[in-house]
Amino acid sequence: MINPTEVKSLIRLLDDPDRGIYELVHEKLLSLGAGVIEHLESAWEQAFDPIQQERIPDLIHEIQFGIVKNDLKLWHQSGAFDLLQGILIVNRYQYPDLDEQKVINQIEAIKRDVWIQMMNEASPAEQIKLINHVFYNLYGFSGNINNHRDPQNSYISQVLETKKGNQISLAIIYSIIAQKLDVPVYGVNLPQHFILAYLDETMQSEFEGGILFYINAFNKGLIFGRRDVDIFLKQLNLKFDKQFYEPCSNTDIIKRVIRNLISAYEHLGSSEKVDELNELLEIME
């Protein structure tokens, strides 16, 4: 149990000019974890000392970042089965105070609107056409073409709010909704792009692996075939590689999201964020 009186006494010592005392206090508060955050926030609101005003937010971020690292490690080590959980952990890096139930409810609402219109006998192409209608026409999701390098494109809470995202964030939301409806749509880790595959091993497909067709979530759910992937890879001067055609793991998807964020923050010159995100990437390697 956290002793509020002890915590307040420790917080008061955060501006101690003696570096040794500060480091001891810092480590003690850090070890207490999430439970001290509300005490730190309250102290920061009342702080007049410039050293405290600087050190308290840094300490809060350090505690929250430690929680994100731990959550990501547990998710990864336990099999990374739930993609939504994985992307919410990444979201927590920038938005630690977000009400995650709101995100879950937004996804459930889109799923429900597709389900209401879904016919039991709908063919794979008809299923995708219906998801596309709800996702792009009714909800208005689209690729953020004007500001493609914005890190906000990679945070699911922001994509659900603005209805704009990059290739992978739109594909993640699209595939989570499809899978909740038992529509077998999974991510494919294509270089310089991220696409979706409709997987059905019970039907005749155009090549092994049971993939009927591909979907471009960034381009209004456009359906295309294997030859289009061939042409795309040829344009990039890349040789055939099975992984460019077949579904990837949830771990690979989250690693790609983190790499996108690293690239976005490098572009903005945010070196501290780049370093922290590289730490998250290392957990997944």
Residues 138 and 57 in one domain: no
Residues 190 and 274 in one domain: yes
Worst-scoring range by mean pLDDT, 12-21, 143-152, 160-169, 209-218? 12-21
Residues 151 and 273 in one domain: yes
pLDDT of residue 216: 94
Last residue of a domain, one of 30, 46, 77: 77
Residues 23 and 129 in one domain: no
Tokens of 83: 């993609």
Residues 179 and 72 in one domain: no
Residues 38 and 114 in one domain: no
Whole-prediction pTM:
0.89
Answer for the pair 250, 87: CB distance below 8 angstroms, yes or no.
no
User: Which residues lie below 8 Å from residue 180, measured CB to CB, with a gap of 6+?
Assistant: 107, 108, 111
For the chain, how many structural domains are there in total?
2
Residues 229 and 91 in one domain: yes
Question: What single string gives the DSSP state of each residue in 229-264?
Answer: HHHHHHHTT----GGGTSPPPHHHHHHHHHHHHHHH
Q: The CATH number of the domain where 143 resides is what?
A: 3.10.620
The pLDDT > 70 percentage for the chain reads 92
Q: The CATH number of the domain where 59 resides is what?
A: 1.25.10
The tens digit of pLDDT for each residue in 213-271 reads 999 999 999 999 888 888 888 887 777 777 788 899 999 999 999 999 999 999 999 99
Answer for the pair 154, 261: CB distance below 8 angstroms, yes or no.
yes
pLDDT at 206 over 60: no
* Maximum C-alpha span of the chain: 73
Worst-scoring range by mean pLDDT, 49-53, 73-77, 251-255? 49-53
Is residue 58 classed exposed, middle or buried when 0-12, 13-18 and 19+ CB atoms within 10 A define those classes? exposed
Residues 13 and 114 in one domain: no
Answer for the pair 71, 89: CB distance below 8 angstroms, yes or no.
yes
pLDDT at 47 over 70: no
Q: Kind and range of the H or E element at 143?
A: strand 142-143
pLDDT at 35 over 80: no
Residues 176 and 47 in one domain: no
Question: Cα separation of 196 and 132, whole Å?
Answer: 13
pLDDT of residue 241: 74
Last residue of a domain, one of 77, 102, 119: 77
Q: How far lies 68's CA from each of 2, 41, 86, 204, 273, in Å?
A: 21, 19, 11, 43, 13
Residues 173 and 46 in one domain: no
pLDDT of residue 240: 75
Q: What domain range is 181 assigned to?
A: 83-284
Residues 56 and 95 in one domain: no
Residues 11 and 44 in one domain: yes
